[in-house]
Structure 1
Amino acid sequence: MRKAILALLAAGCIMPVLTPAQAQDKTVNMKVSLWVPPAHPLVPATQAWAADIEKASGGSIKMSVFPSEQLGKAFDHYDMARDGIADITYVNPGYQPGRFPIAAAGQIPFVFSEGKKGTQAFNEWYQKYAKTEMKDTKLCFAFIHAPGTLHGKKKIVLPSDLNGVKVRPAQSTIGEMVKLFGGTNVQASAPESRDAIERGVADEIAFPWGSIFLFGIDKVVKYHIDAPLYSTVFTYNINLAKYNSMSDGQKKIIDDHCTPEWAAKVTDPWVDYEAAGVAKMKALPDHEVYPLTPEQLAAWKKGVEPLHTAWSAAVKKAGGDADAIDAELKASLKKHSAGL
């Protein structure tokens, strides 16, 4: 039997079984751009993700990961994916106010209770809307970090305490919150933030807990609100031309690595890292980490209500059904037990 099969193979009567990726002979090289430093948990997690893609493709998809803004500034990463400066990029939609109004729902304060469930809820909800809102790239997955808060040189307890204060916001919606409460926004990407505070350009910063240490910001701030004030939403975006140039088998491999399961694998280590920063900060003798009283928390939640109204108006202006979109997000948060 074995000799017969070998003879048929030699004669070309039986074709060997190949996977779609193995059947094509074109190698695709992809550049993955991250703007966080190599020590950030997203970098090794993304490298592992990229290595698994290369393995699954039999080596036909080769990925190189570039951290630390090597290929471009953090603010430019969506356009870098759109224009092919990089093939896959790490995007903060909130770095460009008004450009992605639907995604901004996740930027409103007091939406998410924690990062892992929040990522599952947000990614599931936003996949539908990214097809329109981010149509000039392909969304791989969307995610959030563990909720962050305000850190600074001054003890902030009530929204009114921000009046006249210079704040580096995490994203555009937090920037609107700062203006709402009488503060002044200082625009700086995460890698630029410590310098802004150290030079007195900013007094306060909205930032996740673990990254305060990663970027050295713990050296220039003292006070920290112990409350899940906000989360920032992020996306991994793929250049459409590069994706469309792939074989069907290669596309499937990329799609198989843009699932909720892979979103968790890539981002959960970061969520854990940020969450661990709370205890780390509390252990430092020269820092004050303080909770808000129920009355103070109620004042914050009441104070940010206009941000949801503004979000709804922006979505309607862009042609979306804000009420339906908001209801779907709330349903996803409830499904994943991710809301406040």
Structure 2
Amino acid sequence: MKTRHFVNAALGAALALGATLAGAQEITLKVAHFWPSAALSQQKVLLPWCEKIAKESANRLKCQIYPSMQLGGTPPQLIQQATDGVADIVWTLPGYTAGRFPSVEAFELPFMSRSAESTSRALWEYVETYGKKDFARVKPLAFHVHDNGYVHGNRQISTMADFNGLKMRAPTRLTNKMLAAFGAAPVAMPLPAVTESMSKGVIDGYVLPWEVIPTMKLQELTKYHTETDPAEPALYTAVFVIAMNKAKYDSLPADLKKVIDNNAGADFSAQIGRVWDESAPAARQQAVDHGNVFNTIPASELASWRKEGDKLAAEWVEEMNGKGYPGQAMLDSAKRLIEKHKR
């Protein structure tokens, strides 16, 4: 009898120890994105985030970061890689897969955003109401936008007529439609292709925020930069998502899920936007130092640009209505939340 009790006790202790060791198991998350490793996205956002979750999990959660599509595929495939578990976490643009995530396109309409920080906070709140269905197959950790987007290229842009016939790159469906409305010939391509396309003359210019231009060395291939009146909303911005594979998240023990949850959401989204806002002046200075030419479009000229933007917004509302989304309510909500969170 005593032997049996001893064996049972030993077995119980072994099982408890095994459970403890399993609970303390280190988990390495595969984190994939399309930027080079030196980019602000990895250095100022992903690395600090990974260090934070490692610290808060007593080093049970760690990251292995794969920049520049090192896990294979192309930037438009990143969101599917998160869905399928090729990567545990990805950072990408929903707009790279046109039509798959229509709800967040409201924030990519012209003349919506004034700062990346406040608009990113508004975007997270908006998705909580209108975007959960679109992103049901992944676990979003952050939604954010980049700093104010401008026009860059090798032709001077002073009026809308100057866009006529120019081959211009844009990152998303709506920015392509915006450029077409202005008279340009839009060319859709992921960011990594822009540098080569500019060097070979495949495109005449592009729309981008300041932050990314030095990362891609585009200030060396660009002569003219067209900014818009700073008192007006930005010409455009683009939506990004940091998304986690649902099965990977669901497999985590409760305490590690809490670590992930504590480092996701509105505050994380706004923090990313703030990093982008703060990066813009230094990035712009590199184009100044290169001797490039700058031009600011005044509000009087922007009035005609904004009319085209309003037409595009109205078309988007009708398109969303046709897909079963409450288009006008979504647009109104996006504008209201941006206004609510503006700084």
TM-score by length of 2: 0.87
SS of match in other structure, 2:132: helix
Number of aligned positions between the proteins: 318
Q: Match for 2:334 among 329, 333, 338?
A: 329
SS of match in other structure, 1:85: coil
SS of match in other structure, 1:156: coil
SS of match in other structure, 1:315: helix
Inter-partner Cα distance in structure 2 for 1:181 and 1:117: 27
2:275 matches 1:269:
yes
Match of 2:309 in 1: 304
Match of 2:38 in 1: 39
Match of 2:81 in 1: 80
2:183 matches 1:178:
no
Inter-partner Cα distance in structure 2 for 1:299 and 1:267: 29
Which residues of 2 match residues 311-322 of structure 1 at below 5 A? Answer: 311-322=316-327
Inter-partner Cα distance in structure 1 for 2:150 and 2:284: 10
Instruction: Give the root-mean-square deviation of aligned CA atoms.
Output: 2.1
Inter-partner Cα distance in structure 2 for 1:191 and 1:63: 23
Match of 1:126 in 2: 127
Tell me if the contact between 1:127 and 1:141 (Cα under 8 Å) persists in the aligned partners. Answer: no
Q: Return the offset for 1:166.
A: 0.5
Q: Return the offset for 1:123.
A: 2.0
Match of 1:229 in 2: 235
SS of match in other structure, 2:90: strand
Identity of aligned residues (%): 27
Match of 2:210 in 1: 209
Inter-partner Cα distance in structure 1 for 2:119 and 2:82: 25
Q: Return the offset for 1:160.
A: 2.7
Inter-partner Cα distance in structure 2 for 1:210 and 1:59: 32
Inter-partner Cα distance in structure 2 for 1:283 and 1:27: 47
Say if 1:335 and 1:24 are closer, same or farther in 2 by CA, change over 3 A.
Answer: same
SS of match in other structure, 1:102: helix
Q: Return the offset for 1:23.
A: 8.6
Inter-partner Cα distance in structure 1 for 2:215 and 2:138: 30
Which residues of 2 match residues 90-169 of structure 1 at below 5 A? Answer: 90-169=91-170
Matched AA of 1:58: A
Matched AA of 2:112: V
Inter-partner Cα distance in structure 2 for 1:187 and 1:321: 27
Match of 1:220 in 2: 221
Q: Return the offset for 1:278.
A: 3.2
SS of match in other structure, 1:291: strand
Structure 2 unaligned spans of 5+? 1-19, 229-233
Match of 2:245 in 1: 239
Tell me if the contact between 2:116 and 2:276 (Cα under 8 Å) persists in the aligned partners. Answer: no
Tell me if the contact between 1:101 and 1:314 (Cα under 8 Å) persists in the aligned partners. Answer: no
Q: Which moved more, 1:124-133 or 1:242-251?
A: 124-133
Q: Return the offset for 1:37.
A: 1.1
Tell me if the contact between 1:166 and 1:204 (Cα under 8 Å) persists in the aligned partners. Answer: yes
Match of 1:294 in 2: 299
Inter-partner Cα distance in structure 1 for 2:309 and 2:331: 16
Inter-partner Cα distance in structure 2 for 1:267 and 1:146: 7
SS of match in other structure, 1:218: helix
SS of match in other structure, 1:97: coil
Inter-partner Cα distance in structure 1 for 2:288 and 2:62: 43
Say if 1:275 and 1:260 are closer, same or farther in 2 by CA, change over 3 A.
Answer: farther
Runs of 4+ residues over 6 Å off in structure 1: none
Inter-partner Cα distance in structure 1 for 2:340 and 2:152: 31
Match of 2:28 in 1: 29
Matched AA of 2:114: S
Match of 1:8 in 2: none
Tell me if the contact between 2:106 and 2:330 (Cα under 8 Å) persists in the aligned partners. Answer: no
Match of 1:68 in 2: 68
Q: Which moved more, 1:122-131 or 1:224-233?
A: 122-131
Match of 1:5 in 2: none
Q: Return the offset for 1:88.
A: 0.6
For 1:49-77, what per-residue CA distance to the aligned partner results, in whole angstroms no more than 9, with x for missing partners? 01211221222222211112212321111
For 1:80-126, what per-residue CA distance to the aligned partner results, in whole angstroms no more than 9, with x for missing partners? 11111111101201112222111111111110112222222222222
Q: Return the offset for 1:175.
A: 0.6
Tell me if the contact between 2:82 and 2:138 (Cα under 8 Å) persists in the aligned partners. Answer: yes
Matched AA of 1:66: Y
